[in-house]
Structure 1
């Protein structure tokens, strides 16, 4: 299936799932930066979906209403990212990376944390795992986007067998030790492990491309995901934060509201080591050239959290960055696709 076919299928699926509540939420976001009336915003949103292959959330989050046509066409979008995944990644990509126990086994040398699968572990193994850790992270074995993740104090577990049954019923069957993050990232926000997302592409000639680097920061919760209440900022090619943080609702944070640490200018420790790790991992999965990697930085070095075969797109809104052009050209140069 060519690009047009993939695009039409994606748009049809989006249309079926369109929620009036989401449309209203996005419109209100746009109205924060634009004086245009709601009908004009909705009409422009629809036009951009058709003309620039742009999701409604893309339009709202990236201040597209404020941009001229020549600027709008420079922005990468989630529908275009989906096309890259469908056209260039293996059909087996989801099973290879989003089945977390399988991924953890295949890349045990880069996981750098203790973990156990409650579905297959023996009672004695579970007891020993819980005894080794004061707190653990529980997550779905097939989850994504930070959904269904809890941090559990093991001292609260009175009956391990009954607790295991409850976890399986909740589909929280993957247990991991809580990673200790690098002190500089701990100072930024200690309530979650603050990770970096590297959006990468391994081309047919074997050249490795880092298309985008992102620092994801928790804010009040145990995860740093944008969809789960966290914030993000873009990184330069040296791993230095370029801008303040922004959350899903377009709130902007020059410094972290919990710790007061300034975000722009913060240098991610061991960034070059993280990029080198991701390149090694990418070369072990050449059938999935387009990937979004989530990496934690521990005091001993980077550790891979997970891989996403259909990466989200990260760009900074112009009202924060002052930059009115997006990253589409970087995606074109890396993938060779005329997106």
Structure 2
């Protein structure tokens, strides 16, 4: 499918589904960094959505209102990312990553954690799993964005049959051991597993390109993703946080609001191993060369959370970082679109 056709289809779909409430919401968010009147911001947002292939949230989170035309043209956007996903990630590759049951089977030697599907075990096997793990996460097999995930405290006395009935009644069939994170990661925020997302592209020569390295930090929820109130910052080549954390509402955090741990300069432990694991995962997935890998760090090394064939885009926020250019050049150099 050609780029032009994919883009046209995307734009038509957006036009059909545009919600005025979203425009106003993101325009008001933009007013945190701009004194421009709301109608001016909305008009500029609509112009950028066509001119730069840019989502409304992209415009708000990356302070596009503050940038000149040349700077605006340097940003990788979610519509562009969608187009790359559709052009390079095959249906087989997307299925391989989306189906948590299949993912756990095909990447079992790389996961670094124990995961079971209730459809594959009887109550005796389930009871043994629950006895081994004092905490587990119950997930829907095809969930997205952290939706439908619940934490359960378990142990040798947990009634396996009752547990099965409870979670399957909520559509949850995947059960993962709860990850005990590295103490350095816990110091950032102990109430969620804080993760690293490495966005990679596997080219036709088998070379893995690292497009973006992101530290994701929880803030008030058991999961750390953006949609659930978490924040992110970008990492340098050594795994050190470059900028303050930013959440989906464009709030900026030089230090975590709960733990007061400084975010800028935070070094991700065992980062070389994190990158090595992500590259191994990428080489295992030629059917989906463009993936965002979510990895957690335990005291003994990194473990795999999931692979996202439709990864969000992460870039520095200008008002928080002082950086006024995006990562489009990095993506284009690796992918060639």
1:8-23 matches, within 5 Å, as 8-23=8-23
Deviation at 1:156, TM superposition (A): 12
Mapped partners of 1:304, 1:293: distance in 2 = 8
Partner of 1:132: 132
TM-score by length of 1: 0.96
1:150-165 matches, within 5 Å, as 150-154=150-154, 159-165=159-165
Alignment partner of 1:36 is 2:36: yes
Q: Are the equivalent residues in 2 in contact too, given 1:157–1:163 (CA < 8 A)?
A: no
Deviation at 1:4, TM superposition (A): 1.0
Deviation at 1:155, TM superposition (A): 6.2
Cα-to-partner distance string for 1:312-335 (whole Å, 9 max, x where unaligned): 100111000101110000000010
SS of 1:201's equivalent?
A: strand
Mapped partners of 1:189, 1:17: distance in 2 = 37
Q: Are the equivalent residues in 2 in contact too, given 1:78–1:312 (CA < 8 A)?
A: yes
Q: Are the equivalent residues in 2 in contact too, given 1:90–1:288 (CA < 8 A)?
A: yes
Partner of 2:307: 307
Mapped partners of 1:220, 1:310: distance in 2 = 25
SS of 1:92's equivalent?
A: helix
TM-score by length of 2: 0.96
Q: Are the equivalent residues in 1 in contact too, given 2:197–2:293 (CA < 8 A)?
A: yes
Cα-to-partner distance string for 1:193-230 (whole Å, 9 max, x where unaligned): 11000011111122211010000001111000011111
Partner of 1:91: 91
Mapped partners of 1:301, 1:195: distance in 2 = 13
Partner of 1:227: 227
SS of 1:104's equivalent?
A: helix
1:1-339 matches, within 5 Å, as 1-154=1-154, 159-337=159-337
Deviation at 1:188, TM superposition (A): 1.0
Greater displacement, 126-135 / 92-101: 126-135
Q: Are the equivalent residues in 1 in contact too, given 2:127–2:159 (CA < 8 A)?
A: no
Mapped partners of 1:124, 1:50: distance in 2 = 57
Cα-to-partner distance string for 1:103-147 (whole Å, 9 max, x where unaligned): 111111111112221233211122222222221111111112111
Q: Are the equivalent residues in 1 in contact too, given 2:94–2:288 (CA < 8 A)?
A: no
Mapped partners of 2:157, 2:64: distance in 1 = 49
Mapped partners of 2:148, 2:67: distance in 1 = 37
SS of 1:220's equivalent?
A: coil
Q: Which runs of 5+ in 2 are unaligned?
A: none
SS of 1:71's equivalent?
A: helix
Q: Are the equivalent residues in 1 in contact too, given 2:7–2:83 (CA < 8 A)?
A: yes
Q: Are the equivalent residues in 2 in contact too, given 1:119–1:168 (CA < 8 A)?
A: no
- Matched length: 337
Post-superposition, which runs of at least 4 consecutive aligned residues in structure 1 deviate over 4 A?
155-159
Mapped partners of 1:124, 1:14: distance in 2 = 49
Deviation at 1:35, TM superposition (A): 1.1
Deviation at 1:151, TM superposition (A): 0.9
Indicate the RMSD between aligned Cα atoms, in angstroms.
1.5
Mapped partners of 2:59, 2:29: distance in 1 = 10
Cα-to-partner distance string for 1:47-82 (whole Å, 9 max, x where unaligned): 001000000010011000111000000000000011
SS of 1:131's equivalent?
A: helix
SS of 1:285's equivalent?
A: coil
SS of 1:319's equivalent?
A: helix
SS of 2:119's equivalent?
A: coil
Greater displacement, 150-159 / 235-244: 150-159
SS of 2:120's equivalent?
A: coil
